[in-house]
Amino acid sequence: MKHIILVTGAGKGIGRAIALEFARAIRHHPDFEPVLVLSSRTAADLESISLECRAEGALTDTITADLSNMADVQRLTTHIAERYGRVDCLVNNAGVGRFGSLSDMTEEDFDYTMSTNLKGTFFLTQALFAIMERQRSGHIFFITSVAATKAFKHSSIYCMSKFGQRGLVETMRLYARKCNVRVTDVQPGAVHTPMWGDVSDQMQALMMMPEDIAAPVVQAYLQPARTAVEEIVLRPTGGDLQEE
């Protein structure tokens, strides 16, 4: 059976790792036929991950989109509806962040973060949940953060956006349980991804890697339909990286 799976932010970091993990799941689940709809802002990144997933036997479909742009969100949802007529899994992974002292944050920083992390995520979820609701099946993952429940001093806007995503997660569950749709909130701690920029070898040694997040996401999806993994919290063994 084919599974139509949309992964946003699939070009880099956690999204890339999740896409590849879905493709590799074919090795251990012969009946699993993922059709990976991979979305990112950068076409070259999508082509690279698409080739890797196809090498594992998965079907792929790439679409360049910026979730902060409502026209791109509409184009992405229309593409899925018209091409496939269904969607089995949405991985809301695309996210951005600006970090610094509270007094240094600007309106542009605020709009940049909220337009993707909240606005884009909300309207993409709204559109694709409507399809899941009609088909009475589906699974929505939100890759939020430990910053969805814990404040970090230099992450004021980012924390605000992630606390907001958690509100959407909890609201979605009220709808999803009525139509057999599963919702999973994935809260990673520090993961070595491009969002962190250049980090020292010493700091990298304290961080998780994207594949550490990807494996439990795919495992949660492959649970029997009667079972919903509602929350996955992953931290480095040494705990959260501490801010000065």
CB 22 within 8 A of CB 215: no
Cα–Cα dist 220/201, whole Å: 31
Q: Is 97 part of any domain? A: yes
Q: Is 244 part of any domain? A: no
Return the axis-axis angle of helices 121-135 and 70-83, rounded to nearest 10°. 20
Q: Is 242 part of any domain? A: no
CB 194 within 8 A of CB 12: yes
Residue range(s) defining the domain that contains residue 91: 2-234
Q: Is 100 part of any domain? A: yes
User: For position 155, which CATH number holds?
Assistant: 3.40.50.720
Q: Is 147 part of any domain? A: yes
Cα–Cα dist 36/236, whole Å: 29
* pLDDT one-digit tens code per residue, 58-91: 999 999 999 999 999 999 999 999 999 999 999 9
CA angle 65, 215, 231 (to 5 degrees): 85
Number of residues written out for the chain: 244
Neighbours of 237 (CB within 10 A): 6
DSSP secondary structure code for residue 185 in this structure: E
Cα–Cα dist 65/84, whole Å: 18
Please report the pLDDT score of residue 196 as a whole number: 80
Amino acid at 37: V
pLDDT surpassing 90 at residue 160:
yes
* pLDDT one-digit tens code per residue, 171-200: 999 999 999 999 999 999 999 998 887 878
Q: pTM of whole model > 0.85? A: yes
Cα–Cα dist 33/9, whole Å: 21
Q: Is 240 part of any domain? A: no
Neighbours of 243 (CB within 10 A): 9
Element (H, E) at 153: none
Q: Is 175 part of any domain? A: yes
CB 74 within 8 A of CB 63: no
Q: Would you state the structure tokens that stand for residue 135, as one six-digit string?
A: 């088909």
What's the domain count of the chain?
A: 1
* pLDDT one-digit tens code per residue, 89-142: 999 999 999 999 999 999 999 999 999 999 999 999 999 999 999 999 999 999
Q: Is 134 part of any domain? A: yes
